[in-house]
Amino acid sequence: MATTASARPASSGRMAAVNEMTRLLRLLFEVEREFLRTVTTLVYRVGEPELKYLVCQHAWESAGHARFLRERGRELTTFGTQETARAEIKRLFDEAVGRNTDDPLVITAGFYEVLKPALLEAYRHYLKVTDHLADWPSKKLVEEFIADEERHLAEIKPWLQGVEAREWKLHLTQALDDLGGWLGQETRLPLAAGYVWAHQQTPFTHPATCNRGKYPVCSSVFGYDPTEDPIVRPWLTDPNTDARVIRLMVYVWLMMEMDAIDYLATVFYETPNAPFDLHFDLARHLWDESRHSQFGFRQLPKLGVDLMTVEHSLDLYNILIQMPPHERYALMTMEFEAGSFPTKAHVMDRVRELNDFEADTLLAFDRNDEQNHVRYGHRWLPEMMAQFGETRPTEEFVKATQEKFKEFAARFGGLTPHSLTKEKRLTGEKILKLAGVA
């Protein structure tokens, strides 16, 4: 017997319009969250610093999209409190990551020429089907996100010129078509019986070293010999060191925060079940480190430094990739960043002698950001430890990890030879000349 309108529960259709929009917002949140988790695997695989910086920026902006979608969704019914993405969405993004042996620009094309355009279309679809006045808060958010997505595609386009990725893009397009688009708004085209999910055959693993493209590399830029190393440790705190020398060395130091970009980016993919707010703060941390590296990357040429003479240090990535993610994060926040404050405070005071407002500003923001990163560590390290079954008290775990790092540094550090001879590479002696004090 057919159910009459009066026999149906009174609430069955009452909230249908809200429930449908909430369903779409939920899907958009899950897509943005998974994009953040997986696009970060590009950071240490692409070589050009400017491309690394761009991916970090896009990851941070996607984190912001996801957060606003979550907050708006929670204002509506049926959004839910659980934050993980559904299996079919996670599977597609895991596929997009590829393998660590794949061409990183081909993998980048998959994200930016298949998955991101589909997300842009999903946002546009949302605007078409929602009510411009009733759903005004969501509409205004989505309008901003559409502008971001259009800009992301335009910003990445020059990096993909001439990249042959047709086969990989078709592979991902078939998987996306099986869903009918991110919102299921298109006609679904089921996968062929012979479709092979590559990530299930060869799970992704982080490469043993990070990519720095055309730039020369070495184990470390820190040392004690001014004829060998650009950052001479004693000079940083020696009151007799000219402030112009310190300014140049600290810009090299800041540029080398690209180390932090590369190894921090590895943490997202290995923490798929972490709370979203943990990934949100990691994304901010990643974008901050990217900006800090840009401080040096953009300022050094202004002071006469040829960037092709500045070797990039690889030791921290090469050592930390041998350790699990919660240990990487503990060392980054509780050792490297927390331990840098005294030296950086001295450096800031010395640079102020130069009346260089731009340098003062960059260093002040670097310090402010680093303080926030240590706070992130205090907040999220216990959660990350729990993700990996670590039950020791945090302080005990950090001390043990510091000792483990010393052991691993002896085993895995110092293995990257200089790309350049000391006659060609930037050294402390050359910095003296650039600063005009030699």
| Domain residue ranges in the chain | 18-190, 217-435
Cβ-Cβ contacts under 8 Å for 378 (sequence gap 6 or more): 333
Alpha helix stretches (DSSP H) within 111-232: 116-129, 136-156, 166-179, 198-201
Determine what percent of the chain falls in helix, strand and coil, rounding each to the nearest 5.
65, 0, 35
Architecture of domain 18-190: Up-down Bundle (1.20)
The residues that bridge with 231 in the sheet, in sequence order, are 222
Nearest partner of 385 among 314, 324, 302, judged by Cα: 324
Distance CA 430, CA 438 (A): 9
Sign of the Cα torsion 389, 391, 393, 396 reads negative
> In the structure encoding, which two tokens stand for residue 94, read together?
């895991």
Task: Give the H/E segment covering residue 260.
Answer: helix 258-269
Per-residue pLDDT 10s for the chain (438 aa) are 444 444 545 555 778 888 899 999 999 999 999 999 999 999 999 999 999 999 999 999 999 999 999 999 999 988 988 899 999 999 999 999 999 899 999 999 999 999 999 999 999 999 999 989 999 999 999 999 999 999 999 999 999 999 999 999 999 999 999 999 999 999 999 999 999 999 999 999 999 999 999 999 999 999 999 999 999 999 999 999 999 999 999 999 999 999 999 999 999 999 999 999 999 999 999 999 999 999 999 999 999 999 999 999 999 999 999 999 999 999 999 999 998 999 999 999 999 999 999 999 999 999 999 999 999 999 999 999 999 999 999 999 999 999 999 999 999 999 999 999 999 999 999 999 999 997
Cα–chain-centroid distance for residue 172?
22
Distance CA 197, CA 124 (A): 29
The residues that bridge with 222 in the sheet, in sequence order, are 231
The pLDDT tens digits of the residues spanning 371-388 come to 999 999 999 999 999 999
φ/ψ region of 98 (left if φ > 0, alpha if ψ in -120 to 50, else beta) reads left
For residue 5, the model assigns a pLDDT of: 43
**How much is the pTM?**
0.94
Q: Which residue shows structure tokens 């085993």?
A: 411
Q: How far apart, in Å, are the Cα atoms of 344 and each of 249, 269, 368?
A: 12, 31, 11
For residue 88, the model assigns a pLDDT of: 97
Say if residues 276 and 69 touch (Cβ distance below 8 Å): no
Distance CA 401, CA 71 (A): 36
164: number of CA atoms within 13 Å, CB side? 0
The pLDDT tens digits of the residues spanning 167-210 come to 999 999 999 999 999 999 999 999 999 999 999 999 999 999 99
Nearest partner of 303 among 396, 230, 364, judged by Cα: 230
DSSP 300: T
Say if residues 322 and 412 touch (Cβ distance below 8 Å): yes
Distance CA 96, CA 36 (A): 12
274: number of CA atoms within 13 Å, CB side? 26
